[in-house]
Amino acid sequence: MKDTLQPGLAFQFKFTVPPTKTVPCLYPESEMFQQMPQVLATGYLVGLMEWACIEAIRPHLDWPREQSLGTHVNFSHLAATPPGFTITIDVRLDKVEGRKLSFTLTAHDGADKISEGTHERFVIDAARFNTKLEEKRRAGRGTA
């Protein structure tokens, strides 16, 4: 991590919602999801908030050797957003505690505040992480 990764870092991220990020697309194998409204899915919103944090800190990491993974999300989903709307996410880095990063985020779709909350991420060494993941695969601790 670079010395520039400091609390108070602010960043703004924009994303235009495509039809492929709506509730019916989240789990296409779910018949119930297929019957739901075509609005931004909460699952995609969580990913979008994570993406905004990654973009905010990437210049302050030795990317791609250093990366970050989300470890805690606490977001509301306050309003529905149809495809074609542009979401603006405001990111603020509140704390840097070793490799643990704590953020506050808000998101707006041009008509409504659609989300607010907090997020935690950990900075990882990608090679070390991938080595441990491969060891887990070889040990057969999963079913995939």
DSSP string, 24-87: HHH-TT-HHHHTS-SSB-HHHHHHHHHHHHHHHHGGGS-TTTEEEEEEEEEE---S---TTPEE
79, pLDDT greater than 90: yes
pLDDT greater than 80 at residue 99:
yes
CB contact at 8 A, 7 and 45: no
Residues annotated as catalytic (active site), given as ranges: 42, 50, 77
**According to the model, what pLDDT value does residue 140 have?**
87
Sheet of 86-97: strands edge to edge? 10-16, 86-97, 100-108, 113-125, 66-75
Task: Please determine, for residue 144, whether its predicted confidence score (pLDDT) is greater than 60.
Answer: no
Its pTM stands at: 0.93
Q: Which of 73, 24, 35, 28 is nearest to 52 (CA)?
A: 73
96 forms beta bridges with: 101
Give the alpha-carbon dihedral of 69, 4, 58, 87, to 10 degrees: 90
Element (H, E) at 138: helix 126-139
**141 or 17: whose pLDDT is higher?**
17
Name the average pLDDT for the chain.
Answer: 96
Residue with tokens 């070390």: 128
